[in-house]
Structure 1
Amino acid sequence: MAPPTAIDIEGVTDTQAIVLPNPLTINGVSARRTKAGKLVAGTAAFTSSDHFKSQTSGKPNAKRWDRKSVTQTPPSIHADHPHADYLTIESKARQPSSLKGAAQYLRNPGLISLGGGLPCAENFPIEELAIKVPSPPHFSEQETKVSGTVLTAGKYDVAEGRSAYDLSIALNYGLGTGSAQMIRFVTEHTEIVCDPPYADWHCALTVGSTSALDQTYRIFCERGDYVLSEEYTFASAVETALPLGIKFAGVKMDDQGLIAESMDEILSNWNVQERGARKPRVLYTVPSGQNPTGATQSTERRKAIYKVAQKHDIYILEDEPYYFLQMQPYTGPNAAPVPPPENNEAFLKALIPTYLSMDVDGRVMRMDSFSKVIAPGTRVGWITASAQIVERFVRHNECSNQNPSGISQLVLYKMLDESWGHSGYLQWLISLRLEYTRRRDAILAACEKFLPKEIVSWNPPAAGMFLWLKIAHHLHPSYATTPLLDLEEKIFLAAVERGVLISRGSWFTAERDGFVPQDMFFRATFAAATEEKMTEAIERFGKAIRESFGLVDGKVRNGNGA
């Protein structure tokens, strides 16, 4: 029997009772900070999102993802979800770090520490840092050169009353949650944007989302498990999982990304014997500006997927590096553009609600990153999930990367918190929205002008930095005699020879064991090059396509499919 569609699925909890983000929370942040007083957080200071959230009275706690009595044996491939323990043997085995735990005593007045190996700050050979950043709302390079603000961070700014964060703290060891200063900012930001509808949510800093994903696999997935994802997905997500013995099961997609009904069908008809693995417990998805396809899930699509996750008790990894790169609606090459958001409140209302904002169960880990909205080299991001899951994540941090670079955290703090504040950061994100809108429109204009539409087709992306180009490979003169992947490589090399590098679609397939895609795609980014260079690159790709397909006067030279 065919499984019910997502529309028919009854969720465990009503997702209609979503509390959508309230932009006025920005004012609430200021009031909370005033009431709390000066932030005092020294070297390796213990911190938690609970210190910085608004009151959560009336909200339920998240569901738990473990059982009280668990045998320490590898899971049976016959094990299904009811009352299952979702935490891996490795994750359950992690105990709090003895040395990190001792840091809690550093806040005791008058304590002289001979315990932890924290070097003395006087031996740090960096006395001061200075950075020049834009002054909102003047964000362009030229404006920053003229009117930017120079921020300085000294070694002893905290002791001397100039700041809540300084080099003596940032250059030393920290705890697995990240610095209290940055945890405060990302916690407040998460509440402004997402306002999770359960009480016990926490944030923890990460060394970017790929590192966070590696750690999360280790929390939820044993060797032999499958993870669900879009049928084309972030290549590093797959390549991080494979050495851990984790495979991907691809869910069909359309122009809005992952299809809820396809996900439900896969899970409803999962055959343990054929797959040699238990039913998947985790969904990895990039909902906005999906890498590589550029697809963005609508609000209704996200609700439908969440209901499927409830039905099958799936934990969702919401990877959202492109969430704030949601662009203005595409109106076509000759149409008048849609006016930009008038203010921060309008900007926040224009954003599609996050999975975290509709997560009434605590079944979502959201992965945020500064990589795409500030700079990849910061290597700072954060996760948001229930306290139980964040605690396991922090235990992993303590014996691996520990925390992001202190210098990176300090630079971000000086700019985002001390200089811009939440209002200024949202203004920056609005400026990025308009910048990426211009870039997208430029590459689409080039495609309209230079690509043969009988061979290449595309959907204008609503978010992110990627354009997914579908190739009508059945029209190629060698279609009947050349395997698809060989034909894809031939076109790829023809483009390289023409002077343009464009990613092959097969690099992004979720399923890798002998899987051969049925369609041919290439991925182009509109983030890396200037508008002029992008236009030139698309023109070169168009010439490579025409030459490879033998187009003469807009017609395929060979009769195969012409």
Structure 2
Amino acid sequence: MAPHAATETTAITDTEGIPLPNPLTAKIPINDILNRRAKAQQAQWGVAAPTSMDAFRINRQQQQEHKPKAKRWDHYLSHETTSRTGSALKDAAKWLGTPGIISLGGGLPSSEYFPFASLSIKVPQAPFFSEAATAQSGTLLTAGKHDLAEGLSIFDIATAFNYGQGSGAAQLLRWISEHTELVHEPGYADWACTMTVGSTAALDMLLRMFTRAGDVVVSEEYTFASAVDTMRPLGVRVAGVAVDAEGMLPAALDGLLEAWDPAAHAGARKPRVLYTVPSGQNPTGATQSGARRAALYAVCRKHDVIVFEDEPYYFLQMDPYSAGAEADTPAAAPASLAEFLDALVPSYLHLDTDGRVVRLDSFSKVLAPGTRIGWITGSEQIVGLFRKHADLCTQGPSGVSQLMVFKLLDEHWGHGGYLAWLMHLRAEYTARRNVILQAAEQHLPREVVQWTPPMAGMFFWMGLDWKRHPDAASKSVMEIEEQVFMRSIEHGVLVMRGSWFRADADSEMTSLFFRATFAAAPFDKIQEAIRRFGEAIRVEFGLVQTA
């Protein structure tokens, strides 16, 4: 296989053993990860092969000797979770790697009947990531049906396109585990990763593991609408916590939990779960600082709360916005990959020493939503139970997607190339953020509209002073929101109503917000959309004379 782009590599195969140096205390060099991979047997990469997180960790010796073990969460697990025994048929797959065994066990179709001989994808060569550069000089990656048996790769069509484990294929899971350790350095020894079919499905499973009907989950007062919609059919409600420009307020969270009275919350027991989107929060765009995350984590430890850290926008963190800068001026890039990593706000997973954080990651916002590949990281206990659920529910992500992503990330880009790609995305989204902010400065009436420049993600959150609306004395905030929304449609722009993101839809609505995204539209369309929204606001609030 070709050397990874944007990294220095040492020639080595997946089945060679590497003598490790003394206990590893320094941060792992990005270009040394291949050399630190544990020796792998060929059977580890077979069809439906079970995975061993211990073999995938880079700093195995350091983690065992110098980090604490996670707490156990038996007392928080739902009856559904504790009663799951997992799939006996999946468990039997561990014997497939026995030398010389002839399997008449699992119903695994023979790859002879897969009507796919090869799969080819054209991808960018780091650091030339533009569509034009990819079209002109991109690399064609090809996976054959029997590459594993022929010694050409550790992942092929015969393996990827067959049934697999709920954890996902070992080949890609190893890369994901290395990436997690490289970026987050979890604060306890017995952490693990397992793949998901996306964060929404992962959240559904986690809720079923840790909540029951009648429970309340705490989150930001405005939160990801699909998360609320996932909870509602399970009989789980959301209690909103006050926020500021940095997101959730620790004192507000502590006060809510300290004073919790089941009688005041329809008999609900004290919340056991916090759901948060810490970076580029959807919908507000707020990003929690390192100090804010540490303070919130301390509150969760005090009240023994599990943290669901949903982080699709983690790598889309940006430099502060500079008003007046040219919109198309490229953002200052970090001088190195190490500098890029050091500039990221430490994750809850990094801060966690209890194993109380379950981090949800996804390729949806940084590669493509259609891959339907994500992963969670948590304690081995939690991840093991999650895998049992997945084995009997979603199983693993699509094998086609896993094979494509593996070829791109492991065999082509490597860890360095992927981080270079993320740096590229950071610059692209920073430019988009700047375009929408400059359009807002030019076109939105400041006497009515307020905003805070987002520091990550892809969302722009606008607060409107509804009390200045001509109908404020006679109509509710919800009615005024409806009028502004429909006026915007009349003026040819679609923005999302803030009420759709309220954590507690039954509480009194006292504020008026709208959410716009700068993720997809061309620059000129972003500018024109904000101009139209500003025009709609002026008309609706009586700031201009209508004909």
TM-score strictly above 0.5: yes
Give the superposition deviation at 1:338. Answer: 6.0
Give the superposition deviation at 1:127. Answer: 1.1
Q: Deviations over 1:136-191 (max 9, x none)?
A: 00000001011100000111111111111000011100001110011101000000
Q: Deviations over 1:206-243 (max 9, x none)?
A: 01000000000000001100000000000011000010
Match of 2:274 among 283, 294, 309: 283
Q: Compared with structure 1, are the counterparts of its residues 414 and 442 closer, same or farther at alpha carbon in structure 2 (3 Å cutoff)?
A: same
Give the superposition deviation at 1:33. Answer: 2.5
Give the superposition deviation at 1:473. Answer: 0.8
Match of 1:219 in 2: 209
Paired residue type of 1:520: L
Q: Deviations over 1:70-89 (max 9, x none)?
A: xxxxxxxxxxxxxxx10001
Match of 1:386 in 2: 379
Residue 64 of structure 1: SS of its match in structure 2? coil
Match of 1:323 in 2: 314
- Output the CA distance in 2 between the equivalents of 1:39 and 1:261: 52
Does 1:103 pair with 2:93? yes
- Output the CA distance in 2 between the equivalents of 1:370 and 1:154: 24
Residue 521 of structure 1: SS of its match in structure 2? strand
Q: Deviations over 1:43-100 (max 9, x none)?
A: 000103211102212211100011xxxxxxxxxxxxxxxxxx1000111010021100
Give the superposition deviation at 1:346. Answer: 0.7
Paired residue type of 1:496: I
Query: What does residue range 141-540 of structure 1 map to in structure 2 within 5 Å?
Result: 141-275=131-265, 276-334=267-325, 339-512=332-505, 514-540=506-532
Query: What does residue range 29-108 of structure 1 map to in structure 2 within 5 Å?
Result: 29-33=33-37, 40-53=44-57, 54-55=59-60, 56=63, 57-66=65-74, 85-108=75-98
Q: Deviations over 1:374-420 (max 9, x none)?
A: 00000000000000000110011011100100000000000011000
- Output the CA distance in 1 between the equivalents of 2:160 and 2:38: 24
Q: Contact 1:23/1:193 (CA < 8 Å) preserved in 2?
A: no
Q: Contact 1:231/1:509 (CA < 8 Å) preserved in 2?
A: yes
Paired residue type of 2:392: C
Q: Compared with structure 1, are the counterparts of its residues 242 and 362 closer, same or farther at alpha carbon in structure 2 (3 Å cutoff)?
A: same
Give the 4+ runs in structure 1 shifted more than 4 A. 34-40, 335-338
- Output the CA distance in 2 between the equivalents of 1:50 and 1:175: 17
Q: Contact 1:23/1:344 (CA < 8 Å) preserved in 2?
A: no
Give the superposition deviation at 1:34. Answer: 7.2
Pairs aligned (count) = 515
- Output the CA distance in 1 between the equivalents of 2:501 and 2:189: 37
Q: Contact 1:22/1:192 (CA < 8 Å) preserved in 2?
A: no
- Output the CA distance in 2 between the equivalents of 1:511 and 1:533: 33
Residue 45 of structure 2: SS of its match in structure 1? coil
Q: Contact 2:44/2:50 (CA < 8 Å) preserved in 1?
A: no
- Output the CA distance in 2 between the equivalents of 1:346 and 1:101: 43
- Unpaired segments ≥5 residues, structure 2: 1-24
Q: Compared with structure 1, are the counterparts of its residues 125 and 45 closer, same or farther at alpha carbon in structure 2 (3 Å cutoff)?
A: same
Q: Contact 1:62/1:199 (CA < 8 Å) preserved in 2?
A: yes
Q: Bigger shift: 215-224 or 39-48?
A: 39-48
Give the superposition deviation at 1:25. Answer: 3.9
Give the superposition deviation at 1:510. Answer: 0.5
Give the superposition deviation at 1:328. Answer: 2.3
Q: Bigger shift: 332-341 or 258-267?
A: 332-341
Q: Compared with structure 1, are the counterparts of its residues 526 and 338 closer, same or farther at alpha carbon in structure 2 (3 Å cutoff)?
A: closer
Give the superposition deviation at 1:371. Answer: 0.2
- Output the CA distance in 2 between the equivalents of 1:25 and 1:378: 29
Paired residue type of 2:410: D
Paired residue type of 1:58: H
Paired residue type of 1:305: L
Percent identity, aligned pairs only? 55
Q: Contact 1:455/1:471 (CA < 8 Å) preserved in 2?
A: yes
Residue 263 of structure 1: SS of its match in structure 2? helix
Paired residue type of 1:41: W
Q: Contact 2:86/2:389 (CA < 8 Å) preserved in 1?
A: no
Q: Bigger shift: 39-48 or 493-502?
A: 39-48
Q: Contact 1:331/1:337 (CA < 8 Å) preserved in 2?
A: no
- Output the CA distance in 1 between the equivalents of 2:420 and 2:408: 13
Q: Bigger shift: 56-65 or 305-314?
A: 56-65
Give the superposition deviation at 1:329. Answer: 2.1
Q: Contact 1:22/1:193 (CA < 8 Å) preserved in 2?
A: no
- Output the CA distance in 2 between the equivalents of 1:385 and 1:148: 36
- Output the CA distance in 1 between the equivalents of 2:55 and 2:380: 13
Q: Contact 2:280/2:459 (CA < 8 Å) preserved in 1?
A: yes
Q: Deviations over 1:487-545 (max 9, x none)?
A: 10111011111111100000000012x22321100000000201111011101111111
Query: What does residue range 108-147 of structure 1 map to in structure 2 within 5 Å?
Result: 108-147=98-137
Match of 1:10 in 2: none
- Output the CA distance in 1 between the equivalents of 2:227 and 2:55: 32
- Output the CA distance in 1 between the equivalents of 2:544 and 2:486: 21
Give the superposition deviation at 1:40. Answer: 4.2
Q: Deviations over 1:239-259 (max 9, x none)?
A: 000100100010000000000
Query: If the length of structure 1 is used for normalisation, what is the TM-score?
Result: 0.90
Residue 66 of structure 2: SS of its match in structure 1? coil
Residue 318 of structure 1: SS of its match in structure 2? strand
Q: Contact 2:330/2:427 (CA < 8 Å) preserved in 1?
A: no
Paired residue type of 1:233: T
Q: Compared with structure 1, are the counterparts of its residues 23 and 488 closer, same or farther at alpha carbon in structure 2 (3 Å cutoff)?
A: farther
Q: Deviations over 1:282-331 (max 9, x none)?
A: 00000000000000000000000000001000000000000001012211
- Output the CA distance in 2 between the equivalents of 1:247 and 1:47: 36
Residue 136 of structure 1: SS of its match in structure 2? coil
Paired residue type of 1:242: R
Q: Contact 1:328/1:433 (CA < 8 Å) preserved in 2?
A: no
Residue 289 of structure 1: SS of its match in structure 2? coil
Match of 2:16 in 1: none
Aligned alpha-carbon RMSD (Å)? 1.5
Q: Contact 2:129/2:421 (CA < 8 Å) preserved in 1?
A: yes
